[in-house]
Structure 1
């Protein structure tokens, strides 16, 4: 795929990876560590991303109706399935014979016989809506994302009352927390509710309002034209994982009631909104329905624990956890002529003039995104990190491992975020399990293989809907080898010999064994890879 995915962290992470960094105090330039705007987001791409590695939200910041578009890293369509193609083993020698005979077009056509199905798709969780009784008329509006503390803030005035919203995604407490304040008592009234583009229903359980639902059994890529691209299972036992999202509201003053339409708060002084979610995902090799976890008790437990802490404790724990990672690196490229408080979108529109602070902002935003989308124990950052609002997202918002997934993690070691690469290492280890089957069944090779796409279920066969994909991207077999390099890089940066011996070496050895078996004699004294491509490149 081309590197242009809407909302993708790839290019931001790339910029972060190549920018020079210096150690020191990350608070050296506060203005370069804040994204700031004078209007709410109109489009999804203008919203502010927050995340704790697992839960993610895009914060729009409208005055009358706050909108948080929600994601959870484990929510994908489908489940484990058989994607291997035994016929590929018979096709491979025929393809090689055609290549060495110079019959490239025929070889290209025959390659399609080695393909498997397309990957599954990363799905949106839903949307949180907060409708305020004060309406949408306001002044002195300001919307910010504080990169040094990972807190989004919305400020505005309605009449003689100043309103503030502070929003964070806490890794230690597994919640998204929204703190609502007004400068005059009793002036905070709102109704909160959840929606989802997936099949779902609302529920009220004690003090918790929420929704539960199910992901599709299969979702075709957005570029693939089919009459029924989104398919749901007919029974509870089929593929399509369960999900649950819960909200707990803790107001100060006023009154509150819950019903199937949402949570209603009237005349409060302030309020704390807590949101969490869970799925039935129980591993890449487990059917998420019959072998899955029950998400309901997880949601209840997390919300009860977070509510007992309160806003100040949640904020302190979140800030301490985040800054332990973020504060490791600072960057000072000089002073910008832009006046303090200049909106970020205005600075971007004028970029070309000298504005080193903006370059610092882009660098630190890349680090922020990696921290927000990839933590130990979570899924790795996909094509869009953890932020996606489409049921059929661009390129399925999957893991495109012929460069894009690698690009997401180029900054990890060089920007002192080594722990954030842990989810990638976990995924590579899981790919090695499935990839050993694909190497043996498809090609008769030892070791393990992965091609250019994978997903939550760790598909390792070449995609293409069993013959409809273009071999210049679908049949590239070096995804596992490329990903394995990240494990060596981790050792090179950390010197962790235990990691090298126990985790990296078995994976590296398996990838090397596949390469040894994949190499063939070209008849001129060379061992070559065939069939082979430079990813997504055609003949010149």
Structure 2
């Protein structure tokens, strides 16, 4: 029976909370019994601007460092002048069904500008390539390679992980294999697996094959006439112009083998250790559409006590944002503590020994950038200065040390500490970046200013200020479920053994860790969290570690409002203001339209033009999607001053689509063309996702104008357009169509579920239209339950909106799959440090997964606050404090045996509150800052 009670009262309840204090008291720690063996084992620290990954080694400690504004590239124009003249021809080709021709035209004339220009690059490349190919003598069978170093092949992550960070160009590799007498007279197959990017392969000095392409497997036939009994020489020139280089192997099956043509049963494995020689590591700079986020450097500590230790523990305390290392060597206990402070803008480190005078170590600064200088500043300070390649940015870092007892000396290479009992070190860093248009900053002055703050303050006071500042954000929310028997295990073991019966509290730890990561990578006044938050150790990181705006950047901020971190959204909104400025030029040059537009990627320099390839780079709704975050922030906070400030950005995005939408000759509807359903299906006219986003943009812009009592005429224009936009359509397989045409393949399990945007994060499709909701659900069933990290995370949210908590939890279980399988290959899931694996690491899966868990507990996108709408059966008991709902409400909830027990509602703005739990509904008028508590039956 449906019961709806209208309650008209407003009162402030007693201050005594009906909730336990366990939300604040639950242990929130990632911990391990061994140092990190890989970057994705290390523990992340950050203050929004500085980042560090803590490895926790004993004989040698390593902290990998980042500074958020260190990118390659430079301020420049990204929009393609005159591209608009090809807009209508591209539209006509798509209308005629000539997709390939439209993509070819768009590829030539409609993409954004690269840096450097292609034509100049090609001239330089041809000259360089001719030079390096002229040295075939290195392939000779008798060439003396004894002085060459060795490399273990294959290198699945590229030769960058084998001490060749940042190396592009031409490298030679040499090895040999034995030919038995029985193989003589036969052609042999040389199987090399994948090679990035180009290879020229020789056997006994003769070229046997050459190919280009990072996804192609290399198999070459060695003619019998080239072979001899016994030792035969293989020499391979690998040419890599950019990004990862070398032999990347294959995920399954054998590679680097030789066998007779016609069968591989009788085979010989090539030696895994190959000699190599860097022939030329200075190729011309590759033209790039956008810039890459760069690592800053590395801080190493080398300890005199050696590596024979016991009682080891490495941890990250989420409650205080402190990382700690503890171990014992020769009866002495050594402790380390690290944190990155917002108030003091430094990485602070304390080292202690339980025995006086037992602490002796060296501190060294390094960086993967080629152009750098390490030098002594004064008797306590070492510095590193660096210049990025193919860019204008410079970085400076200062390392300052003080000790208790012992002797401290500084040289031009290291800080040495001898026979101390305690040592405090502080690292600060800055670049010459000022904003996306200006690079006149003074990093030395910035470092001196930051270091002076730390030098004047005791370590204990710096730590206290850090913890206080951090907890103001972190303690706004708490989430607990009962701890199972595995909750006491080290975190890597909890991941490996995860199941809900033995460790349901890994779910709550994951949510709190995701909040920690957002606080650590996105603070007011900083850059937004990028594809990897703020943490990156590669000069050529995956996807540039930039901002992908067709899902990934937005997903980073899905949990911010609902999990009570609204302050962390400020960097996103600051970026949007800049994107709207740059996006005006792109709108004009590419579409002849007013307002602003953003395609599927951006970077530090705020590029907004189409990039990469026309079959997925021409996607026009990135800015419109970002505008949803503006409206959501207002919905959750009811901050009218914020909305008034941001309304012009929403209006500008809507202005663009008012001009951009055109009438489809087949249906008469307004459609988005040219565009695509992100990374799926190529360049098309009328993708469903675009229309969902544009409708929602128009609705939200109208609603914002109404709140602000402004812009009535423009609102009327948008109201008239909304019903003319192509609607969501149910196809022949009972699915929600992804495109205008009913061409969905039910066997297609593509990672993107773009046409379900209207279910989540949008609200274009809700249970108010059950037919569309069921069609969307059918589409997701066809897509399947597999996927990589962020894709699984998106599915968690959508299944929660379908109110299927058990299926949503199934996606969480898949998300918690160990990212490294039994054979050592990566897959979607989580790494040992709970970083999300795409793979490789992408932080959006952490944020999206946390958002999905929140959607299981509270939903408010329809104007009604639904409590426990998708509670999984395997989470029957729990408690949440500080979860937020639209309308300006903050909720505490407790449930037991799968049933709501209590809910407390804080009204921040005094709006009417509509609560729903199961069949129970109430509506109450509230007072600003009023607090209201209800039983599980909403009494």
TM-score of the aligned structures, taking structure 2 as reference length: 0.51
Report the counterpart of residue 210 of structure 1 in structure 2.
Answer: 383
Query: CA offset at residue 81 of structure 1?
Result: 1.1
Match of 2:373 among 184, 187, 201: 201
1:25 and 1:370 map into 2 onto residues whose CA distance is: 23
Q: 1:363 aligns with which of 486, 499, 511?
A: 511
Asked if 1:115 corresponds to 2:262, the answer is no
Cα 1:149–1:37 change in 2 (3 A) is same
Structure 2: gaps of 5 or more residues: 1-18, 115-288, 683-743, 745-939
Counterpart of 1:29 in structure 2 is 26
Q: Distance in 2 between matches of 1:435 and 1:447?
A: 8
In the alignment, structure 1 residue 297 sits paired with structure 2 residue 445: yes
1 CA distance for matches of 2:396 and 2:504? 44
- Distance in 1 of aligned mates of 2:587 and 2:348: 45
Confirm whether residue 489 of structure 1 aligns to residue 632 of structure 2.
yes
Q: CA RMSD in A?
A: 1.3
Separation (CA, whole Å) in 2 of partners of 1:339 and 1:121: 39
Check the 8 A contact 1:23/1:328 in 2, yes or no.
Answer: no
Per the TM alignment, residue 28 of structure 1 is displaced from its structure 2 partner at its CA by 2.9
Corresponding position: 1:499 with 2:496 = no
Q: Is the 8 A contact 2:31 2:314 kept in 1?
A: yes
Q: Which of the residues 271, 294, 317 maps onto 2:423?
A: 271
Structure 1 residue 353: deviation in Å?
4.3
Cα displacement string for residues 373-413 of structure 1 (whole angstroms, at most 9, x for unaligned residues)? 00000000000000000000000000000000000000100
Q: How far apart in 1 are the matches of 2:361 and 2:61?
A: 10
1:432 aligns with 2:605: no
Aligned match of 1:103:
98
Q: 1:56 to 1:178 in 2, by over 3 A?
A: same
Q: Which has the higher contact order (CA 8 A, sep 6+)?
A: 1
| Pair 1:144 & 2:292 matched | no
Residue matched to 2:407: 255
- Answer yes or no: is the 8 Å Cα contact 1:25–1:329 preserved in 2: no
- What's the CA shift string for 1:491-524, capped at 9, x where partnerless? 000000011011x200000000111111011124
Which structure 1 segments of 5+ residues have no match?
Answer: 1-21, 218-238
TM-aligned CA deviation for residue 348 of structure 1: 0.4
Cα contact 2:399–2:428 (8 A) shared by 1: yes
**Could you say what secondary structure the match of 1:246 adopts?**
strand
1:487 aligns to what SS in structure 2? helix
Residues 487 and 494, structure 2, Cα contact 8 Å, conserved in 1: no
Distance 1:429 1:247, change over 3 A: same
After superposing the two structures, state which structure 1 stretch, 314-323 or 197-206, moved more.
197-206
Deviation at 1:360, TM superposition (A): 1.1
1:338 counterpart SS class: helix
Name whichever of 269-278 and 98-107 sits farther off: 98-107
Contact (CA 8 Å) 1:210, 1:247: kept in 2 or not?
A: yes
Give CA-to-partner distance per residue, 1:428-466, whole Å, 9 cap, x none.
1000000001101121000001100100000011112xx
Measured at CA, do residues 346 and 69 of structure 1 come closer, stay the same or move farther in structure 2, by a change above 3 Å?
Answer: same
- The 4+ residue runs of structure 1 with deviation greater than 6 A are none
Query: Could you tell me how far 1:473 is from its partner in structure 2?
Result: 2.0
Q: Residue 420 in 1 paired to residue 568 in 2?
A: yes
Aligned partners of 2:345 and 2:428 also within 8 Å: yes
Rounded to whole Å, the distance in 2 between the matches of 1:358 and 1:391 is 33
Match of 1:454 in 2: 602
Shift of 1:532: 2.0
Q: Is the 8 A contact 1:77 1:240 kept in 2?
A: yes
CA distance in 2, matches of 1:421, 1:186: 47
Counterpart in the other structure of 1:346: 493
Show the counterpart of 1:380: 528
* Structure 2 CA distance for aligned equivalents of residues 87 and 430 of structure 1: 23
Aligned length: 485
Equivalent residue, structure 1, for 2:780: none
Match of 1:228?
none
Aligned equivalent of 1:517? 659
Whether the 8 Å contact between 2:616 and 2:678 is mirrored in structure 1 is yes
- The structure 1 residue matched to 2:76, chosen from 75, 81, 90, is 81
TM-score w.r.t. the length of structure 1 is: 0.88
Quickly say closer, same or farther: Cα 1:339–1:73, change in 2 above 3 A.
Answer: closer
CA contact 1:413–1:493 (8 Å) conserved in 2:
yes
Larger radius of gyration: 2
Number of the residue aligned with 1:39: 34
